[in-house]
Structure 1
Amino acid sequence: MSEATWWYRGGTSKHDLHYRREAEVNTTLEELLLYFIFLINLCILTFGMVNPHMYYLNKVMSSLFVDTSLPDDERSSFRSIRSITEFWKFMEGPLIDGLYWDSWYGNKQLYSVKNSSRIYYENVLLGIPRVRQLRVRNNTCKVYPAFQSLVSDCYSKYTVENEDFSDFGLKRNPEWTHTPSSRTAPWHWGFVGVYRDGGYIVTLSKSKSETKAKFVDLRLNNWISRGTRAVFIDFSLYNANVNLFCIIRSNFRIRTSNFHVKTKR
């Protein structure tokens, strides 16, 4: 047998080449087997942490805050908000009624929890809810030269470059002054854009009447205006019966055209 049949170019024999191919196949199969074992263990751990109570707690909170009808309009809810007027109806209606419960089953007086309140009977409100908005500066969009004399105000879409950091409205109150964003705070992203922490923050009261009065004051003084691009409502709760925490963030995003409000929970 000729030498060419035993050796390939570069000095590698057919036997060595065949052995290398078998080793590569065996290594690939071993790695694939280990990957499947890892994937099975991951699925077991992940699905083992899920229980039906998570679904029911989320469904109850959605029904309470998202699906409850707005005052004087049974066909509208959180999901169908399309104007600033409807936004304030939600804030002064379903949101306040959901955050501050004062009755127990059978319309009995709800017993109090130290430094906290209850939501839907069994859920303890942790801390104090807050409302936060992000704004953009005036004259941040490009106007065609022929129309510049007709357009005095122009608010572009939200970007970090367009964000407004100046105080406005009733500057003596903290909700009208800008709170800087923390470098370590997470950003929020959605279908319309990406939003960072900070902005104009309203810290709600533990009293239902005080919170409602604050919302009325903000509405009458136009806290939500043409420069507003996003409003966030944040609060968290704990249910001891199922040992679950629930963190809720309601988002209202205002487009640049016609004050159309996009909502997402």
Structure 2
Amino acid sequence: MSKPDERDKWTRFSEEHEQIRFDDVRRTVLPKTAIDTGKAPYQGTRTIIKRPKWITRSIAEELGREYILLATCYEILIYFAFVVCVCISVMGPHSTYNFYLTKGLHAQFVDKAFNTMNGMEITFSDIHSAGDFWMYLENHFVPSIFWGYTYDPKNVEDENTMNIMFENMILGVPRIRQVKARNDSCEVHDYFLRYFRSCFDTYYSYEADREDFGPGEPTA
């Protein structure tokens, strides 16, 4: 084989190889319709692969580190907006009227002082004996419930005008629900077990005594 023939062979091989490479690149760039018809778009046209508007973490892992950070920022913003919406929905319905009503009732029945049998002034939080509790009910609680009225039918005015703090109407008969801490809610030292068989800690809902108390007769 002569040198011109060998040169022509390598030239044809190179052209075929370049044509194969061009076809591969062309298939990755040109639209499918242009590949099927064999007609290239007009000169100056190029196909642009658009990034989706919304990127999830699984999509970002295929695109690169920059998109992973972008997806993380999107998730943080969405979570922050969710927390704000939850806070507004939870704290929004509360009104100032309910706040002042609760504060007024607490000041009237809990924070206001009353006299015990010994003549001492204490509040509801300072009660430590049954005698102080009954003095609270008789001398403070009942007068606060029936504001400005007595039990004497001759002195009682229209029942529809009965109210608390001259603003809140009484609906029905007031009832008291008793709650009690368990007798084992606090620990007693071994040295004092011979004197104290039970101990009552400060009342909490998780330490409430839920056993039956008294004769067990219904009150309503």
TM superposition score normalised by structure 1: 0.43
Q: Computing the radius of gyration over CA atoms, which structure comes out larger, 1 or 2?
A: 2
Greater relative CO, 1 or 2 (CA 8 Å, sep 6+): 1
**TM superposition score normalised by structure 2:** 0.50
Greater helix content: 2
